Homo-oligomer: A and B are copies of this chain.
Amino acid sequence: MSDPIADLRAAIGDPALMLETPEETGAYTTDWTKKFNGATPMVLRPRTTADVSRMLAACNELGIKVVPQGGNTGVVGGSTPRGGEVVLSLSRLNTIADYDPASATVVVGAGVVLAAVHEFVAPLEMEFPVDLGARGQCQIGGMLATNAGGNRVLRYGLMREQVRGLEVVLADGTVISNLNRLRKDNSGLDLKQLFVGSEGILGVITQAVLQVRPCPPARRTAMLAMTDRAALPALLAEVRARLPGLSSLEVLPDDVCQYVSDQVPGASMPFTERFPIYALVEEETEAGAAGHDGFVERLSGLFESGLVADAVVAESEAQSAGLWHVREATGEAIVAAGYSHKFDITVPQGEIPEFLDEMEALAATLPGIKPLLFGHLGDGNVHANFVQTPEIADKPFLAEGPALAKAVYGATRARHGSVSAEHGIGTLKRDYLGYSKSPEEISLMRRFKGLLDPNGILNPGVMLD
């Protein structure tokens, strides 16, 4: 009787490229949130693009399904096995090389951790502008496959905007390699664009050429207090018009700030008074006193507009870090709170106040559920968290989950929003893809999938069923 895994083992040959015992494979079968896990018969650990090509060709031949895996920091169940798939770990493709000062580009393996890119370019006084909380674990290949975002999308865009050249291995082992450093290249279809954000269902990213940039002379931070969240769209328009170097605009309602202050040491608010809602603003400016003064002057214009009731401007990098700490600690505070349903959605920025109203009204129908809503106002990206409070701690974990998801995504659809702002679809949101994309679009996605992976071996069950 045929044993495909035995055949795969024979085809790969080198035992150093395979893990098979549960002790060895365990770390690859559960995601960091512990929410998604499944068994795997084997973890493949290629060292080179040629290894990846050979491995995929063998799996394709043998009909073995494969889950590509980077840092395993995703939150939508896209990188862990579901039903006995082989895991393809890209962690060993971890070379950073060939920094080119004229084009300000660097060639990075898929398995390089984001923080390693930051550290590599820092001594060159350059920076890679994408940054996010998982920086110490998330890998460039996975970040490209999910088109990751972060806090400075407003100014620099998502991963898609940072990539110049890309190398991808298709399901049949074909290597599509174009590691060019070019800012402008309109020679033929821009194939790499289809693989960025494809969540491993069309091919496996093995290397990329990333654009880096000079560090800005200074970043300034302020926390603005507002009395009326209905004015958020007007605030966004004003801030965008007045602050030419705007790099972040985050929104934190008072209840979220109180929650974070209670849960996380040091994450305290800088105001003596309380206001219904706060906006964290970051601008890239000139260095020195002139840069600071200009920032303050531009902000003072916001008071004249009547949109801002109070403001605290960071006078030092330490104060700036303090203001950011409240925003950054939201994740930790929510985890500390216990179980929660998390939604990462986008609505048009002008509709954020009404959308927040709707989310609160929805939570009010769920006894014991507390809504914690915040996010990136500049991008219209709302992180909507529904937390199970201690008063219902004895109840089963959010049995109303699917109904809640339908309600949140239904409200998103009604506003022509996206069911996934920056986290991707994975397995978690697969049933809701149709809330943001039309049947014609989903049909076209399926046709691309069928064309590039006719045997359906790549990340089955992710994005498309």
Question: Closest CB of chain B to A75's CB: distance in Å?
Answer: 12
Chain A: interface residue total (CB-CB under 8 A): 88
Asked if B380 and A103 sit within 8 Å, CB to CB, the answer is yes
Query: Residues 222-248 of chain A: 1 if any B CB is under 8 Å from the residue's CB, otherwise 0?
Result: 000000000001001100110011000
Contact in complex: A184, B379 (CB < 8 Å)? yes
- A214 and B286: CB pair below 8 A? no
Contact (Cβ within 8 A) B198 A184: no
Interface pair B380/A183, CB less than 8 Å apart: yes
A186/B102 in contact, CB under 8 A = no
Residues of B contacting A244 in the complex (Cβ-Cβ under 8 angstroms): 214, 216-217, 245, 284, 286
Residue A194 interfacial (CB < 8 Å): yes
CA of A348 to CA of B209 in the docked complex: distance in angstroms? Answer: 12
Copies in the complex: 2
* Partner-contacting stretch, out of A28-36, A62-70, A260-268, A422-430: A422-430
Please tell me if A330 contacts chain B, counting CB pairs below 8 Å: no
Q: Which residue of B lies closest to A448 (CB)?
A: B189
* B421 and A186 form a contact (CB under 8 A): yes
> In the bound complex, how far is the Cα of B59 from the Cα of A214, in angstroms?
51
CB distance from A277 to the nearest CB of B (A): 16
Chain B nearest CB: distance from A74 CB in Å? 11
Which of A147, A183, A245, A425 is most buried by chain B, counting CB atoms within 10 A of its CB?
A183
Chain A residues at the B interface, C-beta cutoff of 8 Å: 100-104, 125, 146-147, 149, 153-154, 157-158, 160-161, 174-178, 180-191, 193-194, 196-198, 202, 213-214, 216-217, 233, 236-237, 240-241, 244-245, 284, 286, 290, 294, 346, 348-351, 376, 378-381, 416-425, 429, 433, 436-438, 440-442, 444-445, 447-448, 451, 463-464
